[in-house]
Amino acid sequence: MKNRIFLIAALAFLFAGFNTGCVRTVDNRNRFGNPVQADRVEARYERSVDQVFESARETLAFNGQIIAANNITEVKTLEGKVNDRSVYVKIQEEEPGLTHMVVQARTKRGAGDVALASEIDKQIALRLARK
């Protein structure tokens, strides 16, 4: 009987250990979360970094609120909250005239939300198409 209780406790501990951990955000910070779940969408646009950054900023402000923005360095980042989820956007120039963007979304409990990341990416692309 003692062995069964020990085995169940050990399995529960292992299961909890595999479902938690740290996740690196696109702005190179660590956050609590499940590292196994998909949480990001990547895109490339034939626009300048500033145009993509402005569209991303407008999209985050429209859908929620912007918490942090870094537009000083070569790699521009945004952090925002949309529907109680953390959204991170990283924008950098891949080559002249081609911009690479990564959108990452995570829930409060650290689970990945690739559907929200995809929706934000789509809205950014639509804003770029209007310009």
* Range(s) of the domain holding residue 32: 22-130
User: Is 17 contained in some domain?
Assistant: no
**Number of domains present in the structure of the chain:** 1
Q: Is there a contact between 42 and 26 (Cβ–Cβ < 8 Å)?
A: no
User: Is 16 contained in some domain?
Assistant: no
- What's the pLDDT tens digit per position in 112-131? 899 999 999 999 999 999 87
Average pLDDT over residues 42-58: 94
Q: Is there a contact between 103 and 124 (Cβ–Cβ < 8 Å)?
A: yes
Q: What is the DSSP string of 26-90?
A: TTS-EEES-TTS--EEEEEESS-HHHHHHHHHHHHHHHSEEEEEE-SSSSEEEEEEETTEEEEEE
Quote the CA–CA distance of 49 and 13 in Å, as a whole number: 45
Whole-prediction pTM: 0.80
CATH code assigned at 53: 3.30.310.80
pLDDT of res. 16: 53
User: Is 14 contained in some domain?
Assistant: no
- What's the pLDDT tens digit per position in 80-121? 999 999 999 999 999 998 999 999 999 988 888 999 999 999
